């Protein structure tokens, strides 16, 4: 028998209903939620990230939200360190870690083991970010494709953060991201928990698209533009930072700069969120041992509870 303690992974694209489902599990099982979301780590970015409100957090506290200032960076390696510590604390308290989110790189790094990748170099990163602003992400992605075709296949041409990181690794080490990950995989150790891996997504893609648009409308009604305007007043924040490149924030920032009108901002924000959801679903389809769940199923909470209970009492 596998003697490792249990954990639950709940993966899903944006607007698929992960938070509501996770909160329902917390009510029934001794679970504690760990956020797996690269935008929720930032303080002051609440509306545009659909961060759980105070009432939800009172019922189901989330770890790893509001732990960084938007001017700071937060890497997948940082997440792995923090997530493992949180998982250990939750397990020692007699509870079950419930990891919820859609940031694929964080889940991958969590399971992959300690990273042999070098830390970001501030001077090199600023140089690459300037090139990103001057040339655009597709041009840098083409450069990456010439250096590391395998990584270029896995990284979307519209994903600046991962494109920059892959180029940074090449310039720092002389090795491609693919080579470094292969070396790391050869030294991989077993993950300390046995994980029930659940993938939540609507069967009807149209439903997901409708949810994304409705949520963006709600964000604007709740003051999303005002939230970004307040962040924009800070002298230490700019459009090139990972936090401000988050989906939605980038488009509202461009609107405030006068680069987009309100209609264009809305359309581009919704389109970018749908593209993000598409990338998340594509990644999920390649995820091994993923138990798929239909987000629109009426019996979803009870079905997930039965799966989780049966898994955790083994």
pLDDT digits (tens, 9 = 90+) for 224-240: 999 999 999 999 999 98
The 10s digit of each residue's pLDDT in 55-110 is 999 999 999 999 999 999 898 889 999 999 999 999 999 999 999 999 988 998 89
Residue 116 has pLDDT above 80, yes or no: no
Query: Following CA atoms 244, 246, 250, 253 in sequence, which dihedral angle do they give, to the nearest 10 degrees?
Result: -40
**CA–CA gap between residue 169 and residue 120 (Å, rounded):** 8
pLDDT digit string, tens, across residues 147-195: 999 999 989 898 888 899 999 999 998 989 888 877 776 556 678 999 9
CATH classification for the domain delimited by 6-113+189-312, as one of 3.10.300.10, 1.10.630.10, 3.40.50.300, 3.40.50.970: 3.40.50.300
Q: Which of 81-85, 121-125, 208-212, 256-260 has the lowest mean pLDDT?
A: 121-125
CATH topology identical between 6-113+189-312 and 122-186: no
pLDDT attached to residue 117: 72
Q: Which residues contact 61 (CB under 8 A, 6 or more apart)?
A: 32, 33
Domains of the chain, residue spans: 6-113+189-312, 122-186
CATH of 122-186, one of 3.90.850.10, 1.10.20.140, 3.30.428.10, 3.30.56.10: 1.10.20.140
The answer to whether residue 48 scores a pLDDT higher than 70 is yes
CB under 8 Å to 251, separation ≥6 — which residues? Answer: 260, 265, 268, 269, 272
pLDDT score at 227: 98
pTM of the model: 0.82
pLDDT single digits (tens) 7-39: 999 999 999 999 999 999 999 999 999 999 999
Interatomic CA distance for residues 141 and 136, integer angstroms: 9
């Amino acid at each position: 028998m596998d003697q490792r303690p249990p954990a639950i992974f709940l993966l899903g694209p944006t607007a698929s209903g992960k938070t509501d489902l996770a909160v329902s599990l917390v009510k029934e099982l001794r679970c504690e939620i760990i956020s797996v979301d690269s935008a929720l780590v930032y303080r002051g970015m609440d509306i545009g990230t659909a961060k759980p409100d105070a009432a939800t957090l009172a019922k189901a506290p989330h770890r790893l939200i509001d732990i960084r200032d938007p001017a700071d960076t937060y890497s997948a390696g940082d997440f792995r360190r923090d997530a493992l510590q949180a998982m250990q604390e939750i397990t020692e308290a007699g509870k079950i870690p419930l990891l919820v989110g859609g940031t694929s790189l964080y889940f991958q790094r969590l399971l992959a083991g300690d990273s042999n990748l070098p830390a970001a170099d501030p001077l090199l990163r600023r140089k690459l970010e300037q090139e990103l602003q001057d040339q655009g992400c597709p041009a840098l992605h083409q450069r990456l494709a010439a250096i590391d075709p395998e990584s270029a296949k896995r990284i979307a041409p519209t994903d600046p953060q991962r494109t920059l990181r892959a180029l940074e690794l090449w310039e720092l080490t002389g090795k491609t991201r693919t080579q470094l990950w292969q070396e790391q995989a050869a030294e991989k150790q077993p993950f300390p928990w046995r994980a029930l891996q659940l993938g939540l997504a609507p069967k009807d893609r149209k439903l997901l698209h409708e949810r994304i648009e409705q949520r963006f409308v709600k964000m604007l009604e709740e003051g999303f533009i005002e939230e970004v305007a307040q962040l924009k007043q800070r002298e230490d924040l700019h459009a090139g930072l990972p936090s401000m490149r988050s989906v939605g924030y980038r488009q509202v920032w461009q609107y405030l700069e006068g680069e987009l009108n309100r209609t264009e901002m809305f359309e581009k924000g919704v389109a970018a969120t749908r593209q993000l959801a598409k990338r998340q679903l594509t990644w999920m389809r390649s995820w091994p041992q993923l138990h798929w769940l239909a987000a629109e199923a009426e019996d979803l909470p009870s079905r997930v509870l039965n799966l989780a209970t049966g898994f955790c009492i083994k």
